[in-house]
Structure 1
């Protein structure tokens, strides 16, 4: 099972759309978002492209009720939760969280994969038998290029995506 990973999209809708299109081309069946969408309109590309979304809220998601309403107004495959939230995906235990500092190590250890955001830096590392993945910043506001990732849950291979055209530079 291939899943797309996003975080910290901070209202940059064109970047979200482009990253989703690359994920679709890469064979993802669902996208997990580790928070900081910011505004409800940031969910529109998920609806337009019929991409199922599992997400958690981040610190910059001020109007969570409006985000929930936008999630429910789409095609019905968008679910948003408080962070952290555990999922069983493809037979794997996955923890989705905005900021790793918000959970105790024991919560991390109980999962095969932990997807997180907050730092805006793409990263993949292991803690014992747990893989930790941060897809970076879907907005590109801090580091100059929007990023995301594709995770193959079966092989635990991670492919990082980076939008590099001149329209994405600051």
Structure 2
């Protein structure tokens, strides 16, 4: 299963649209937004993508609470299961314990992929391109014995670049 992961879109609707469109085109079956959504339009993009999705409130999203029932918004830390894989979703990396197979977070605006004690800690970076001259997001492909993370980056006036990382999962048996 392929899960698209974005975070820190802030006010950049066009960049959010590009990231979501790329993930859909690349075969995502589910999308996760790791917070700092900021704009209702970004929630509408997720909703209209045709895919199941989940989005966690970020520290800049309190004003979105009135849309809680309209969109699939959750509070952190939020646990869920997809493709027999347990996830923990949060925006601010306060709950970094390895109590899930995959821990997804945002907030730092820095892409990070770390595999420790059979847990993948994943921050897709910032879609908004606020702290650096590139927009970034990720795809997580879940296979029986491995996680494959594809990092997407897009610099202004350049093509989207992809970089793959593989992590071997140990059996829980």
| Contact residue 10 and residue 139 of structure 1 kept, 8 A | yes
| Contact residue 33 and residue 55 of structure 1 kept, 8 A | yes
* 1:89 alignment partner, one of 71, 82, 85: 82
Which structure's residues are more often helix, by fraction? 1
Question: Which has the bigger relative contact order, CA under 8 A and spacing at least 6?
Answer: 1
1:144 is the counterpart of 2:137: no
**Match runs of 1:1-170 below 5 Å:** 1-68=1-68, 72=70, 78-100=71-93, 102-103=94-95, 105=96, 108-154=97-143, 155-166=146-157
Structure 2 counterpart of 1:75? none
| Contact residue 39 and residue 67 of structure 1 kept, 8 A | no
Q: Deviation of residue 67 (structure 1)?
A: 3.6
Change (3 A) 1:67 1:162: farther
Change (3 A) 1:43 1:124: same
| Aligned counterparts of 2:11 and 2:30: Cα–Cα separation in 1 | 20
1:14-46 CA-to-partner distances (Å, cap 9, x unmatched) read 001101111011110111111000122221222
Moved runs in structure 1, 4+ residues, more than 6 A? Answer: none
Question: What CA RMSD, in Å, does the superposition of the two structures yield over aligned residues?
Answer: 1.8
| Contact residue 7 and residue 136 of structure 1 kept, 8 A | yes
The alignment's TM-score, normalised by the length of structure 2, stands at 0.84
| Aligned counterparts of 1:83 and 1:61: Cα–Cα separation in 2 | 12
The alignment's TM-score, normalised by the length of structure 1, stands at 0.85
| Aligned counterparts of 1:67 and 1:114: Cα–Cα separation in 2 | 25
| Aligned counterparts of 2:7 and 2:38: Cα–Cα separation in 1 | 11
1:95-151 CA-to-partner distances (Å, cap 9, x unmatched) read 011121x22x5xx32211111111101110022111101000011111121110000
| Contact residue 123 and residue 133 of structure 1 kept, 8 A | yes
| Aligned counterparts of 1:66 and 1:42: Cα–Cα separation in 2 | 15
| Aligned counterparts of 1:53 and 1:140: Cα–Cα separation in 2 | 22
